[in-house]
Amino acid sequence: MKLLFVADPLESFKIYKDTTFAMMREAQKRGHLIHISEPKDIRWQRGEPVTALVRSITLTGHAVNWFAEQPENQRVALKGFDAVVMRKDPPFDSEFFYTTHLLEQAQREGARVFNKPLALRDHPEKLAILEWPQFIGPTLVTRSAQDIKRFHAEHHDIILKPLDGMGGMGIFRVREDGLNLGGIIETLNRDGAETVMVQKFLPAIAQGDKRILVIDGKPVPYSLARIPQGGEVRGNLAAGGKGVAQPLSARDREIAETIGPVLAARGLLLIGLDVIGDSLTEINVTSPTCFQEITDQTGFDVAAMFVQALEAAQLRSQ
């Protein structure tokens, strides 16, 4: 297949842990051709299809100069690729939103895009959990400072987070004493201008914030428990959490096998469920990670499972 990955700049990749790199490496191993573009290089003009300025690359197998590319980039119609894999990291800001509309136009022209642009827009990573209240802990979504204070009075120990955060950014814990709750609310909701998610603190975070990967509706048999370190409340790897791979529990599998097929049918080939203890906390759809950590620790080849699913999805879409 001729594959296009829409992603962050190649020069920013940390290939020892980058999931998009793992996808490309597996795809090349299977004989697929690898191309890369950034969202800023996607263009539509009346009378033309959606195009992108594309880098054609080959992975070298080296740790430093890890890719080689053709000397000249080319502008290519997205419909000319067998699959377009959207892997731009969050935040899901206005530019990400506009990129999904360009990708959706490319889809109308015949491009095969994974994950589907409409599905990316319809499933914001914090709010997508609201569809499955049976799996989540006490949760509040509001702009109201008074609502947040009432929620704290009821649950005593809470987590507050912005809806557009990533990698643990902007997450606060407020304990029973309510210390600095007012200041945190002002910081996050900006006098009622921005919506905040508030959740009851789950002590099971001490055992890790589990990332459960679901590929084409089927769960990877291992999660990566991201365990907070050094007094941190956040388990995110970007916030210094330690990743420990472990088999899925019965509850993990129940959550994944309920949600996975539903979201796969909506065009989400790859999702990452975040579970603390027995409670679902987020559904990641933009560019879920942790492929390499799980594979390195368990030997289960997550990238191979993904590329196999991508090949099958591409055939179904023809």
- Mark whether 234 is an active-site residue: yes
Q: Which of 26, 211, 236, 293 is catalytic?
A: 211
Listed in sequence order, the DSSP H helices in 72-202 are 94-108, 117-122, 145-155, 181-189
- Mark whether 274 is an active-site residue: yes
- Mark whether 65 is an active-site residue: no
- Mark whether 226 is an active-site residue: yes
Dihedrals φ, ψ of 11, to 5°? -65, -15
Q: Which of 112, 161, 200, 210 is catalytic?
A: 161
Q: Which of 18, 226, 252, 293 is catalytic?
A: 226
- Mark whether 8 is an active-site residue: no
Q: Which of 18, 209, 216, 282 is catalytic?
A: 282
Q: Which of 18, 104, 216, 274 is catalytic?
A: 274
- Mark whether 161 is an active-site residue: yes
- Mark whether 112 is an active-site residue: no
Q: Which of 87, 112, 126, 210 is catalytic?
A: 126
Question: Would you state the structure tokens that stand for residue 125, as one six-digit string?
Answer: 């990573």
Cβ neighbors of 159 (< 8 A, separation 6 or more) are 171, 172, 173, 198, 199, 200, 201, 233
Is-contact 71 58, C-beta < 8 A?
no
Indicate the length of the chain as a whole number: 318
- Mark whether 200 is an active-site residue: no
The CA distances from residue 127 to 132, 142, 152, 160, 161, in Å, are: 10, 12, 20, 14, 12
Backbone CA torsion sign across 90, 96, 100, 105: negative
Q: Using CA atoms, how far apart are residues 38 and 7, in angstroms rounded to an integer? A: 5
Instruction: Please name the amino acid found at residue 224.
Output: L
By annotation, the residues acting in catalysis are 126, 161, 211, 226, 234, 274, 282, 284
